[in-house]
Amino acid sequence: MKTSKPVVLYVDDLKEQLTNFSANFFDVYKVHTANTTQEAREILKQHPVNVILSDYTLVEAGEITNGVDFFESIMATYPNPIRMLITGQGDKEVAVNAINKGRVFRYIEKPVDDEELKLIIDGAAALFFAEERYRQLLATLEDKVKERTARLIELNAEKNEFLGIVAHDLKNPLANVKMFTDLMHREVETLSKDEIKEYTGDVLSETDRMFTLITNLLDVNKIERGFKANPIKFDIVSLTEAIVDNYRSRAEQKSLTLHFEAKAPKAEIHADEVASMQVVENIVSNAVKYSPNGVNKNIWVRVVPTSTAVRVEVQDEGPGLSDADKEKLFGHFARLSAQPTGGEHSTGLGLSIVKKMIEAMNGKIWVESEIGKGATFIVEFPIA
């Protein structure tokens, strides 16, 4: 790989010195020369420079200035080039002033031969490139720190949201369980069997609600820590049909008709069977949960093989999803404008779990929906 030449700017009020420097070093450096500090500033504006050499005494427009003042004037705008001062004045005070005011790396006393000067410039260029690598590394680390900080802020917000949701979603069922058990404890001698059955059924319903929330939270935690799929070859048609059959009675309670269609009697995929069951069950459950209650609506579940994948499509006649809903649909604790229609409970975690699971199996999930026209959730599994 070709290495770029170091870029050197030499500033001197004697044109003969500039010509000699260019002639002696053009083959090893990319040389820029400036007869005045103003010319030097123009070059710095237009070209990246690694090393700057300046004569100490500079005469410009009949006035005497010096390289130290020049270096001091450009430090804020051009802090990175390595600065070196060439002078015939062997005064220690000049050297100290150059180092303190101009942040000069090297104070070079005349006379200096070309070979020695080349070694000095090579050392300065090496220092520049080492510092440049350090600056790039530092910038990369700063970017990573910013990303990590932003992620920590995001996680902290999610944690606070999580605590609020858990407190809210567990408080109500716990209060109901306490109420029913208190009632049964106080009235145990007077309650009929039917009343006991009703109250224990209510307690069971509330504990199921809490169990679902806790299970979902544990699933999220497991996935966040790194869900590893165990892919095997199996038939998604029979699995999906079994899930549809399991949800028929729940659908019928809301006057919903579940339809199952398979474009082929068998469609083998390569995926985690347990996770695939959770994914399909979730989107079928959501279709039942969010479809209108008691108005004779339909839900279609289809298994559609393609040349590269197998799709499971779940289409409902529910309220549909707004653009705002679709943007946050697969996020944690998503609260959508649509709500369950039969008193069912939603933690807002299900689809975030589904998305992570299906992606861990190299699959995809998306939704097609318009407000008032229902929704179709499409899950795409890799073929066997």
- pLDDT tens digits along 304-346: 999 899 999 999 998 888 888 888 888 765 555 556 665 555 5
How confident is the model at residue 1, as a pLDDT? Answer: 40
Domains and CATH numbers, the chain: 7-112 (3.40.50.2300), 149-224 (1.10.287.130), 232-382 (3.30.565.10)
Which tokens sit at 101?
A: 């005011």
Higher pLDDT, 290 or 215: 290
- pLDDT tens digits along 152-186: 888 777 667 666 666 666 777 788 788 888 888 88
How confident is the model at residue 344, as a pLDDT? Answer: 57
Q: Report yes or no: 110 and 122 within 8 Å, Cβ to Cβ.
A: no
- pLDDT tens digits along 340-360: 665 555 545 578 878 888 998
How confident is the model at residue 240, as a pLDDT? Answer: 96
- pLDDT tens digits along 194-246: 888 888 888 888 888 778 777 766 766 666 666 677 899 999 999 999 999 98
How confident is the model at residue 193, as a pLDDT? Answer: 87
Which tokens sit at 195?
A: 């009343």
Model-wide pTM > 0.75: no
Helices 193-224, 350-360: inter-axial angle, 10-degree rounding: 40
The identity of residue 324, as a single letter, is: A
Q: Residue 140 and residue 127: Cα distance in Å, rounded?
A: 20
Q: What is the largest CA-CA distance in the chain?
A: 117
Q: Residue 288 and residue 291: Cα distance in Å, rounded?
A: 5
Phi, psi of 26 (to 5 degrees): -65, -25
Name the nearest CA neighbour of 378 among 331, 311, 316: 311
